[in-house]
Amino acid sequence: MAEVKFPTEVVDLPSQGLLYPTDSPLSSGKIEIKYMTAREEDILTSANLIKKGVVIEKLLESLIVDKSIKIGDLLVGDKNAVLIAARILAYGKEYNVEYDGQQLVVDLTTLKDKKLDETKVSKGVNEFQFELPATKRKVTFKLLTSTDETEIEKEIAGYEKIGDGVGYGLTTRLKHQIVSIDGDSKKASVNNFVDNEFLSMDSRAFRTEVSRIMPDVDMTSTYTDSDGNEKEFTVPMTVTFLWPSS
Residue 204 located in a structural domain? yes
Q: Are residues 178 and 123 in the same domain?
A: yes
Average pLDDT, the chain: 93
Predicted model pTM = 0.91
Of 77-91, 182-196, 227-241, minimum mean pLDDT range? 227-241
Regarding whether 123 and 107 lie in a shared domain, the answer is: no
pLDDT for 209 equals 96
For residue 236, tell me if it sits in a domain: no
pLDDT at 165 (0 to 100): 63
User: Mean pLDDT across the stretch 4-14?
Assistant: 88
Tell whether the model's pLDDT for residue 24 goes beyond 90: yes
pLDDT tens by residue, 191-208: 999 999 999 999 999 999
Q: Do residues 126 and 105 both lie within one domain?
A: no
117: pLDDT strictly greater than 80 = yes
* Residues 25 and 101 reside in one and the same domain: yes
Does 223 reside within a domain? no
Kindly state the DSSP code that residue 227 receives in the 8-state scheme. T
Does any domain span residue 31? Answer: yes
105 and 29 part of one domain? yes
Q: At what angle do helices 200-213 and 169-177 cross, to 10 degrees?
A: 60
Kindly report which listed range (27-31, 103-107, 144-148, 166-170) carries the lowest average pLDDT score: 166-170
Closest CA relative to residue 236, chosen from 141, 76, 138, 98: 98
Q: Which whole number is the average pLDDT over 103-113?
A: 95
The C-alpha atoms of residue 128 and residue 217 are separated, in whole angstroms, by: 20
- Same domain for 122 and 107, yes or no, is no
Residues 99 and 139 reside in one and the same domain: no
Residue 220: inside a domain, yes or no?
no
**pLDDT beyond 70 at 160:** yes
Instruction: Report the pLDDT value the prediction gives residue 1, as an integer from 0 to 100.
Output: 39
Rounded mean pLDDT of 176-190? 98
Per-residue pLDDT, averaged over 118-141, amounts to 95
Q: What average pLDDT does the segment 159-175 reach?
A: 84
Query: Is residue 2 predicted with pLDDT exceeding 50?
Result: no
Domain span including residue 30: 8-111
DSSP state of 184: B
- Angle between the 76-91 and 55-63 helix axes, to the nearest 10 degrees? 70
pLDDT at 161 (0 to 100): 81
Identify the helix (H) or strand (E) that includes residue 9. strand 8-12
Q: What is the mean pLDDT of residues 37-64?
A: 93
Q: Answer whether residue 169 is part of any domain.
A: yes
Indicate whether 124 and 56 sit together in one domain. Answer: no
Torsion of CA 110, 116, 117, 119, to 10 degrees: -150
Residue 52 lies in a domain: yes
97/140 same-domain check = no
Predicted confidence (pLDDT) per residue in 204-226, tens digit: 999 999 999 999 999 999 999 88
Residue 193, domain member (yes or no): yes
Asked whether residue 171 falls in the same domain as residue 91, the answer is: no
Query: Taking a C-beta distance cutoff of 8 angstroms, is the pair 139, 181 a contact?
Result: yes
196 and 106, same structural domain?
Answer: no
Do 172 and 96 share a domain, yes or no? no
Higher pLDDT, 35 or 166: 35
Mean local confidence (pLDDT), 161-176? 85
Please state the domain count of the chain.
2
